[in-house]
Structure formats: C-alpha cells, structure tokens
Structure 1
Amino acid sequence: MSDRKLILYVSMSLDGYLATDDDDLTWLETVERAGEDYGYAELMDTVDTYIVGRKTYEKILDIAGALPQAEKMECYVITRQELLPEKNVIFYNDDIEHLVEELKKEEGKNIVCDGGADLIKVMMEKRLIDEFIISIIPLVLGEGKRLFKGGVPYQDLALIDSKSFDSGLVQLHYVRVDSK
C-alpha cells in the first residue's frame, strides 16, 4: 500500500460559496497578483493525478481552452456520461470510492481534487479526502453554490498550516484525523 493522499484544493468566498448561481468565477480575479499562485505550483509538484468534476472541467475548458493539468499528469473527470478518453484525460463514470482506493494503492505521488460541490460531497460521504487546502477569498457573494453541501458525516480535522497573503486571501490546510 502506498502513502498517496487525496488532497482537496479549492477556493471559496468568505460566506462559503465556490461559484455564483450561474457558475461565474470572475470574482476569483479579485485576488490575482502577478507572480502569486498561492502555493499551487508547489502543491502540483507533489501530485501526479488530478480529479475534477465534469462541470468544473467544462468551466476550465471555457476559461483556458484545455485542461492544463493534462499536460503533466493523469486526469480523471468524474461524469455520469460515457465519453472516450482524451490525451491524459479519463472520463470516469463508475464508483468514485473504488477509483480513489485503487489510485491510493498504486505507487506514485499524491492525488489532487479540484471540486465541484457534488464531487466533494460524495468524497466526504465516503471519507476519501485526506487533506483540505481551502483558500478563502475576502468577499461575500451573498448567494451562489455552496462549497460544502449538507448531509456529510462528521469529520474531525486538524489545522496543519494557515497562511495569509497581501491580497487578503487566507489559506487553511487541514488533515482529516477521524477514523472510518
């Protein structure tokens, strides 16, 4: 068994939203600073597998035109549809718990998950997320799509790091300490 961990890396507004109701993410631009990636490159050096929900994947395609992570690592897009794989992108529509358990058995670096809320909820229900890196953007959206949906089991987390940045962004890094 390897020591691979599944790490959630995500941003939310101060009031807990990851997107507006119409999936707008332009509010994330409020913390963009030249030369500042909020630890993303450092994290990505520790991972070799990327998991993302289909809606987030499509949003990335809309913004960037391609999935940049697919140039460097194996990527899984969690979807209900049966789609053919693309270069380093596997469209996965089976049991997410089975996928994560199999990936964790393989030798390699860590696994990173980049939302959305439905995927995060399923992963939390199954206690698949080992670490949470949450960047809090200093604004209140007032409404939108919540990062954490209700209905997940209690999970005890321990803070292992926190950082604040000149932009006002605060990044919290937790590890899950409760047992299954």
Structure 2
Amino acid sequence: MKGNKPRIKLYIACSLDGFIARENGSIDWLTEYEKNPGTDYGYSEFYSSIGTVLMGRKTYEQVLGFGDWPYGEKKAYVFTRQEELLRREKNVEFISGDIGEFARQLKENTEEDIWLVGGSQLIKVFLEEDLVQDLIVFFVPVILGSGIPLFDQIQKEIGLKLINTERYESGLVRVEYEIEIHITK
C-alpha cells in the first residue's frame, strides 16, 4: 500500500449557473468542448491517476448512449436502486446497498484515487457523508437557466480550500478545491 490513502475526487463540468445537464439529462451543450484539438483539459493526466470510477445509474445509462464504454480498463461501480437488469460492461459492478459504507470500504481496500463521475443525487450523498476529498469543476461558459444542479440541496455547509485554477482559450475554467471542513447545518 502506498503512503497516502486514496482520495475520492469529483471531476465534472457544469454550466456557469451550476447545472451538469439539461432537465432531460442532455449534455449536448458540452460537445463543442469535447473534441478540442488544442487540449484535453487535463483529462488524460487525471484519468491515469485513478483506479476506480463511481457513478449513479442515470449517469451510467447516459455514458452507454455515447457508444463504446470509455472506462473498460478501470473498475467501475454503478449505484442503483433499480431492480431491472442493466447492460453490464467490462469491469462494471452494480451496487444497491449503503453508499457510504461501500465507499468507505472501497477506500480502505484500494491504492489508487477514485473518480466520482456523477450524477447529482450521488454527489449529494457523497458530500453529505464526508466521502469526497477533492472537487475538480470545469465551468463552461454557458448559462442554461435550468437543469440538473451540480449541488442539489446538500444539507450541510462545506468549507473549501482553493488548490488551483486554470483558464482555457475556449473560455472554460478549471477550478480545483480540497474539502477543508464540514459544518452541519
């Protein structure tokens, strides 16, 4: 086991007004930034630093709609309350038990950092249960006006320490925070 404990990192994009998707779940407003020939916005470096990806069922279904499963060489856990069988991709396991207990066990039994992909409901649980250590948020220069919020009525105040910011020519801004303190409301 390496010296440092693995960290759970939220790595996600949102509109300037704080939405990760449109009301219907669409992220079509992100497509012009995905295939930027000048940069991958640090994605390759981030992706190589993690060993596991975590996501909710809706996010999983959305990723399946993109075509090839992009996380084939990483272990992936999908949190779901649904009884129906979902298409299972390589290295994917479905989890329906206690999210906090599972995440704490995972952190104890892995050496690499963990990527909390999304969505909004899962992010809320992870933040409320003090499971996230780092936030890497890309603010996209668009105001959607409505949609699925990045932070949906989290029931606590969370203090953040700014680690880094980076501005890209596309207008996108990457902001990295470390979670400092959790203050229950």
Q: Pick the TM interval, shorter chain.
A: over 0.9
What letter matches 1:67 in structure 2?
W
Candidates 126, 129, 139, aligned match of 1:126: 129
- Name whichever of 123-132 and 34-43 sits farther off: 34-43
Match of 2:162 among 125, 143, 159: 159
* Structure 1 CA distance for aligned equivalents of residues 82 and 75 of structure 2: 19
3-state SS of the aligned residue for 2:54?
A: strand
SS of aligned partner of 1:155? strand
- Deviation track 1:103-145 (CA, whole Å, cap 9, x = no partner) reads 1112411000111100001111101111000000001111111
Deviation at 1:35, TM superposition (A): 4.5
What letter is aligned with 1:79?
T
Deviations for 1:57-98, whole angstroms, at most 9, x for unmatched residues? 1011111x24211x2111001111354864200011111111
Paired residues of 1:31 and 1:168 also in contact (CA < 8 A): no
Contact 2:157 2:182 in 1 (8 A): no
> Which residue of structure 1 aligns with residue 150 of structure 2?
147
Q: Give, in angstroms, the shift of residue 164 of structure 1.
A: 0.5
Structure richer in strand, relative to its length: 2
Preserved CA contact (<8 Å) 1:124 1:152: no
Q: Which residue of 2 aligns with 1:77?
A: 78
Selected match of 2:172 from 151, 166, 169: 169
Q: Which amino acid aligns with 2:81?
A: R
2:57 aligned with 1:54, yes or no? yes
Paired with 2:105 and 2:44, the residues of 1 have a C-alpha distance of 25
Equivalent residues in 2 for 1:1-180 (5 A)? 3-32=5-34, 33-63=36-66, 65-69=67-71, 71-82=72-83, 83=85, 86-178=89-181
Structure 1: 4+ residue segments shifted above 4 A: 82-86
Q: 1:107 to 1:91 in 2, by over 3 A?
A: closer
Q: Retained in 1: the 8 A contact 2:156–2:182? A: no
Q: How many residues align?
A: 178
Aligned-residue offset at 1:31: 2.3
Write the letter of the residue equivalent to 1:37: D
Q: Distance in 2 between matches of 1:25 and 1:179?
A: 30
Q: Could you tell me which amino acid in structure 1 is paired with residue 70 of structure 2?
A: P
Identity %: 38
**Alpha carbons 2:80, 2:95 under 8 Å: kept:** yes
